[in-house]
Structure 1
Amino acid sequence: MPGPAAPLSSDAPPPPAAAAVPHVLLARRPHRPGPAVAFLPGLALACGRAHELCGPARRTLALMVAAALDGAVMWIRPAWMRETLNPAGMEGLVNPGRLITVAAPRAEDLPWCAEEVLRAGVVALCVVELPAPPALTAVRRLHLAAETGAREGRCVPLGLVLTPGEGGAAGVESRWHMAAAHRPGETRWRLSRRRARTAPPAQWWLVRRGRRLVPLPA
């Protein structure tokens, strides 16, 4: 038969306590908006983050954003893509001499190049054209690179990820879709904000008023 249980010693160390959850993980910090670029009246993109542009007129939308910023624009594109930017066609939006184009030979080089540009923090805008929406990890790396560039570089960089079709990159700060909707005697586009961290979905008609583009509710 088993003997009597040994009495508990008052000198025995107490059992280890459960690890406390750091308070910082439980805190709910309010969102504090940082710098943003107003690319159209009433519409802005947060700097230091990566945004997705999709739709047939995504390159035109990227040029509209470039027109709202100063300095050089780094434009990264697949080397195998036959479509190229037409300098004569972009003159109405932005000076073609501001663009520095990079042709990446492999698909995996595209997000890597964008990371390096954003991390350096030397240009205000980095545009990268991708053949398909990037994975969540790749988008997070772009955010981190932009934050590093803002902290250690000369400016707060803005990243634009251009994807075909309807887009669908996970984790982007916002997603915008634009397509031409021209009519006889009127140049216009249909712009949609599909998702954004701090704004609801919305749609506009972009129409010309003199030399300006003005968004009107769709």
Structure 2
Amino acid sequence: MHHALLDRRPYREAKGVTFLNRLTLAQGRVHEGCGPARHTFAMIVARAMEGPVFWLRPGWEAGALHGPGMAAFIDPGRVTFVAAERAQELLWTMEEVLRAGVVPLVVAELPGPPALTPMRRMQLACEAGGGRALGLVLTPEGSAPGAESRWSMTPDHGVEPGWHLARERARDAAPHNWRVGRVGQEFRLGAQPAEAD
């Protein structure tokens, strides 16, 4: 006779979005991107996915992504920009889009890390949306509580320009560093992991 062990955790298939050839972000969860090149990180993730992208940004900040610059990463026509009047509206909009589960990637530029309660609400919204959407919050310093993983990206002005990518925290993987470069039209990890600082 076969016995199955039951637990209270919600069932989720082991799905993920693979980017830069071998790195993975868990689907149906909210992750964090931080550092000076956090927007580049978000566009590399968007490049690895299909379908539309919702990009939420603070309407009170003057800076915005440049369409021709984005074209090196993704088709800007895939992106729907939403400018919010207040930080609470950014979080509410992200939660509602994740709950709908119809947009594969939702990116939110935040002026600072959100509190644990809004992050938990967004993780629950991902589950309510059937785990089809991936959320990515972009914060300057990288300390959002409750994020599934945290990735920091900074420019690397070495002999060959590129970026330094660090997985600072993840539920299912150890911290690690890589160098990211561009080969033709593709973005790739360096052959060897970057040295830890």
What TM-score, normalized by structure 2, do the two folds share?
A: 0.89
Q: Kindly, what percent of the aligned residue pairs are identical?
A: 52
Indicate which of 111, 115, 138 corresponds to 1:162: 138
CA distance in structure 2 between the partners assigned to 1:42 and 1:150 by the alignment: 25
Pairing 1:74–2:50 present: no
Output the amino acid matched with 1:69: M
SS in 2 for 1:94: coil
* Higher Rg of the two aligned structures: 1
Indicate which of 179, 185, 194 corresponds to 2:154: 179
**Who is 2:189 aligned against?**
215
> Residues 117-141 of structure 1: CA distance to partner in whole angstroms, max 9, x if unpaired?
0001111000011111011111111
> What is the CA distance between 1:212 and its match in structure 2?
1.9
Output the amino acid matched with 2:150: R
**Who is 2:169 aligned against?**
195
Unpaired segments ≥5 residues, structure 2: none
**Who is 1:206 aligned against?**
180
Q: How many residues align?
A: 187
> What is the CA distance between 1:100 and its match in structure 2?
0.2
Pairing 1:85–2:65 present: yes
Alpha-carbon distance change, 188 to 33 in structure 1, aligned in 2, over 3 angstroms: farther
CA-based RMSD of the aligned residues comes to 1.8
> Residues 66-102 of structure 1: CA distance to partner in whole angstroms, max 9, x if unpaired?
1111111000011011110000111110001111000
Instruction: Specify which structure has the bigger relative contact order, considering alpha-carbon pairs within 8 angstroms and separated by 6 or more residues.
Output: 2
Moved over 6 A (4+): none
CA distance in structure 2 between the partners assigned to 1:41 and 1:134 by the alignment: 30
> What is the CA distance between 1:33 and its match in structure 2?
5.3
> Residues 156-194 of structure 1: CA distance to partner in whole angstroms, max 9, x if unpaired?
0000000012x101111000000111235x221000000
**Who is 2:21 aligned against?**
41
> What is the CA distance between 1:55 and its match in structure 2?
0.2
Pairing 1:60–2:36 present: no
CA distance in structure 2 between the partners assigned to 1:205 and 1:52 by the alignment: 19
CA distance in structure 1 between the partners assigned to 2:116 and 2:74 by the alignment: 31
SS in 2 for 1:108: helix
CA distance in structure 2 between the partners assigned to 1:190 and 1:33 by the alignment: 31
CA distance in structure 1 between the partners assigned to 2:99 and 2:8 by the alignment: 28
CA distance in structure 2 between the partners assigned to 1:100 and 1:210 by the alignment: 27
